[in-house]
Amino acid sequence: MDLIIDVGNTRAKAAVFEKDSLKEVVVFQKEEIISETKKILKKNKIRHSIISAVATLSSEKLEKLHELLDLIELNHSTNVPFNNNYQTPTTLGVDRIALAAYGVSQFPERNVLIIDAGTCITFDFVNKGTYLGGAISPGLKMRYKSLNNYTSKLPLLETKEPSSIIGNNTNNSIHSGVVYGIVNEIDGVINQYKTKYQDLTVVLTGGDTNFLAKQLKNHIFANPNLVLEGLHKILIYNRADD
């Protein structure tokens, strides 16, 4: 079995794969990474593992993980199953590298736009096996927070699906502006890509996948665990014994 670990700014996800099948996903605070890894190891016979750390883990925790696991740390020198044409590859986030690996592995002969709706919204485009780049935009929660942080009177709200495009009070106006704004942005970006690449496959992932997927006009494949799936593809690509 393989263990995939994806560390974000505050939380981490760990996934157990048996061959190509995702068996289990565990979400925990990143400070708990050692104890949670030990729990997983007690239940599963892990042979190989990979870690992606968007937020930096301490050297002490990384050293301990290496003691527990046969571990690959994903970085810009890791072998990946795609051609990378990004102009500044050393600045490309490891989460975006994982998503590109998923796109190429799953749709090797297609043009693929992968949209990750999390803290930020990232758009990553793979042109038949070659990663070209994409875009980065504020995510849902970041937009809600910015309205509160950069004004004196607007409240901080939790994400909510608007009942109407016309907000009839301040709260409803915020929900309408944030949610419909982001939905129309995503649909607009997809349509721009479609004008140039008509055979386009669009995939949506990230923490806000389920909230946004039902509101988009374009046909998409929705899967909230694509970073984990992509990391597993990179691990398989780097395994010496398979």
Class of domain 1-73: alpha beta
Annotation-wise, does 8 bind a ligand? yes
Annotation-wise, does 9 bind a ligand? yes
Note whether 1-73 and 82-242 share their fold.
Answer: yes
User: What is residue 235's predicted lDDT score, i.e. its pLDDT?
Assistant: 96
Annotation-wise, does 116 bind a ligand? yes
Among candidate residues 2, 20, 95, 124, the one labeled active-site is 95
Annotation-wise, does 242 bind a ligand? no
User: What is residue 242's predicted lDDT score, i.e. its pLDDT?
Assistant: 53
Paired sense of beta strands 221-222 and 48-53, if any: unpaired
Instruction: For 117-148, give one letter per residue: b (16+ CB within 10 A) or e.
Output: bbbebbbbbbeebebebbeebbbbbebbeeee
DSSP three-state, residue 117: strand
Paired sense of beta strands 83-84 and 130-138, if any: parallel
CA nearest to 146, candidates 124, 117, 174, 186: 174
Paired sense of beta strands 71-73 and 221-222, if any: unpaired
User: What is residue 241's predicted lDDT score, i.e. its pLDDT?
Assistant: 52
8 Å CB contact between 215 and 161: yes
For residue 124, indicate whether it is catalytic. Answer: no
8 Å CB contact between 157 and 175: yes
Annotation-wise, does 143 bind a ligand? no
Instruction: Report the predicted TM-score, pTM, of the whole model to 2 decimal places.
Output: 0.89
pLDDT (tens digit, 0 to 9) for every residue of the chain, 242 residues total?
999 999 987 789 999 999 889 999 999 998 899 999 999 999 999 999 999 986 678 889 999 999 999 999 999 999 999 999 999 999 999 999 999 999 999 998 899 999 999 889 999 999 989 999 999 999 999 999 999 999 999 999 999 999 999 999 999 999 999 999 999 999 999 999 999 998 899 999 988 998 999 899 888 899 888 999 999 999 999 985 55
Annotation-wise, does 94 bind a ligand? yes
Give residue limits of the domains in the chain.
Answer: 1-73, 82-242
CB atoms within 10 A of CB 30: 20
Q: Does domain 82-242 have CATH number 3.30.420.40?
A: yes
User: What is residue 119's predicted lDDT score, i.e. its pLDDT?
Assistant: 87
- DSSP per residue, 52-95: EESSPPPHHHHHHHHHHS-EEE--TTS--SSEE--SSGGGS-HH
- CB neighbour class for 183 (10 Å; exposed up to 12, middle 13-18, buried from 19): middle
